[in-house]
Every structure is written in C-alpha cells, then in structure tokens.
C-alpha cells in the first residue's frame, strides 16, 4: 500500500484504469432499496496490494454485487489532489470517492473540496473508535510508527525512539526518506518536543547524521531489502509493514516505543463535486462491514478503525493496539503539519540529507 504517510509525493507516479462490475437491482439488509443500485462509481486509490484487497474484500462481494459499476483510477496522492483541485470549480467532477490519509483529507477539506459526511447514510460508522471520528473523512484502518530491529543482531528489543541514536548501531541505522516527517516527529519526541512543536528535533537529527552515519532509503521496499541483506539492523516504520516483512521471511521485528507510536489513518473522502454521492456512501458503509474490514485488516496487518471488525483472535492480538498503547499514541496535528510541511522538507533535503 502506498500513501503520503507511507509514500512520498516524490515517488515516480503510475496510473492505470480498471473497470468492472455488473448492473442489477438489489436490496440492503434492512429491506429498503439500497443507495445507487445502478450507475458508475469512479474511485481513486493507491493501487498495488491496497487495491487488490479493496477489490477482494469489499468491492466485488459487497458493492459490485449490488449493481454498482466501479471504475478505478490508481495513482498517488499528488495526482488525486491535482485532479480534485482542477475540478473544484466545475459544475460536476469525475471522482465520486477518493482514498487518502487523514492528513491529506485535512488539506483538501481546508481547500473546500470535501463533502461533509452524512453519517445517517453510513450506519456501520457507529462502531468507529471515537478518537478517529471526523466530520469529513471516513477512516478505514489505523497504524503507528514503531521501532524496527533485526533480532539476530539486537538481542534485546529497543524500547525507545532514543535507541535510534545508540552509537552501537552506527552505520547500521536505516532512515526512510519518503516519511521524513515521521523522523522529525520522532526526533522531536526524544528531544523534549511535541507533535505540535518539532523544533527541538532538528538539532537531534543533526546529531543523528553526525554520530550514526545513517543509511537513507527512498522507499519502503528498499528499506525492507536493506533489512533482508542485513545492511541495516535498526530503523522505524509502520508496524503493519514490519509484520508483513516478517511474514515474508525478513529478519525484522516491531517494538512499541515508550514515547508512543506516531499514528497514521487511511480512509476516504467524498468530493463536493462527486457525480454519484449515493454510491459513494454505499461504498463507505460497505468498507466498514465487520467481516469485510476484518478480512482487509488480516491481509494488510493494519488495525481496524472500528471496534467490531471480525478477525481471528491471534491476528487481532498481533496487529491491534492494547489499551495502554492506544492511550499513548501520538496523533498528528494536521493543521500544524500542513502549515510547516514544506519548510520541514526543505530543511530535510538541505541539512539532513545534504
């Protein structure tokens, strides 16, 4: 899965268009006519395994089965944002639903592009965790940045983001370039800053550059390869990624930091100029179906946004946050991030990478 919190706006873009679906009338479980039982629903998402899971667990069995014809535009967030911005002043847009992180959704909402959600049309949303509810963004899954380490070389699991500055691992630290902002957040937390005050983190990152000689990797895939080749022993990434890599045979484990993980939330928005809002609402409600969302989380290793997702107990125990971990999560201040992100990127490229 690729996204702004996990994929940089600077990755090469790719686009494909897949069309599928049938047209048939149907009724929802309540016996009332289902919303938008005909017509086309054009959605945009990241493609790859994310799209595969959307199709397998939600779109084919729950949405297309109800007669909604789905067209999928697969690309990265910058392309989706550009399209929505370009269509902002048109009488009618082309996208009825677009998937983003909450941070991206915040920016689009500030631009007046996002439709306020009518939760009466999303009954399954009643089970969303209270901390994730939003008036304009429907969350699907949630993850957190945790410590990543190779147990072959690091026998005792690291317990703090401060362990990323342990000189015993100098030359063996991997840094993910495409989520630079998370490294700024981590450095700030170690240096006494907060999620809405990262200024102490910049000096801490310069210390990392000097003492740790970090190896910088553009993408998640390259970071995984570095763990696999034992080029690096320690890093930080979304725990779901680490669980997937471990499942694929990479010698890497996740360790929850005492400072608390940094959250990322994935979901979707309905644009104000959406041509088929009824179908979009039906899709959103379908994604939060307890069985569908549980299957999606089982496959992706991300925790569900709801409290009633159905999944095997062993899977839930592994991927979900405990009550204590949930209480310690560091939630992003989206307004603060949006205001400062360009400045952070300039500093990162010039001072940390330069």
What is the distance between the alpha carbons of residues 54 and 76, in angstroms, rounded to a whole number?
Answer: 16
Q: Are strands 138-149 and 262-269 parallel, antiparallel or unpaired?
A: antiparallel
What is the distance between the alpha carbons of residues 56 and 41, in angstroms, rounded to a whole number?
Answer: 17
Q: Is the pLDDT of residue 29 over 80?
A: no
Q: Is the pLDDT of residue 34 over 90?
A: no
What is the distance between the alpha carbons of residues 140 and 146, in angstroms, rounded to a whole number?
Answer: 20
Position 25 scores a pLDDT of 30
28 confidence band (pLDDT: 50, 70, 90)? very low
Domains defined for the chain, CATH in brackets: 16-142+265-321 (3.40.190.10), 143-263+332-352 (3.40.190.10)
Position 6 scores a pLDDT of 37
Q: Is the pLDDT of residue 20 over 70?
A: no
Position 38 scores a pLDDT of 59
What is the distance between the alpha carbons of residues 80 and 2, in angstroms, rounded to a whole number?
Answer: 13
111 confidence band (pLDDT: 50, 70, 90)? very high
């Amino acid at each position: 899965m690729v996204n702004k919190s996990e994929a940089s706006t600077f990755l090469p873009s790719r686009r494909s268009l897949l069309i599928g679906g049938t047209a048939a009338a149907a009724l929802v479980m309540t016996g009332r006519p289902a919303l938008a039982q005909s017509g086309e629903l054009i959605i945009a998402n990241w493609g790859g395994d994310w799209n595969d899971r959307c199709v397998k667990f939600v779109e084919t069995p729950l949405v297309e089965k109800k007669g909604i014809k789905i067209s999928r535009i697969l690309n990265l967030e910058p392309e989706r944002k550009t399209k929505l911005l370009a269509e902002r002043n048109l009488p009618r847009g082309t996208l009825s639903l677009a998937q983003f992180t909450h941070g991206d959704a915040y920016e689009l909402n500030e631009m007046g592009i996002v439709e306020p959600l009518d939760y009466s049309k999303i009954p399954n949303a009643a089970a969303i965790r209270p901390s994730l509810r939003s008036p304009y963004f429907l969350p699907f899954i949630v993850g957190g940045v945790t410590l990543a380490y190779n147990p072959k070389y690091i026998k005792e699991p690291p317990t703090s983001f401060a362990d990323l500055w342990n000189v015993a691992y100098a030359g063996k630290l991997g840094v993910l370039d495409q989520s630079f902002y998370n490294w700024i957040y981590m450095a700030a937390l170690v240096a006494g800053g907060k999620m809405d005050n990262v200024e102490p983190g910049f000096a801490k990152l310069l210390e990392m550059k000097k003492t740790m000689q970090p190896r910088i990797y553009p993408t998640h895939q390259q970071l995984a390869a570095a763990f696999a080749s034992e080029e690096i022993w320690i890093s930080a990434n979304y725990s779901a990624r680490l669980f997937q890599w471990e499942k694929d045979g990479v010698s890497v484990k996740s360790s929850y930091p005492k400072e608390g993980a940094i959250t990322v939330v994935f979901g979707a928005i309905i644009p104000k100029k959406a041509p088929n809002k009824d179908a979009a609402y039906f899709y959103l409600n379908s994604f939060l179906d307890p069985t569908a969302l549980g299957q999606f989380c089982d496959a992706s290793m991300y925790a569900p946004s709801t409290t009633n997702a159905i999944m095997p107990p062993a899977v839930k125990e592994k991927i979900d946050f405990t009550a204590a971990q949930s209480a310690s999560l560091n939630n992003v201040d989206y307004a603060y991030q949006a205001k400062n992100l360009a400045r952070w990127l300039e500093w990162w490229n010039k001072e940390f990478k330069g």
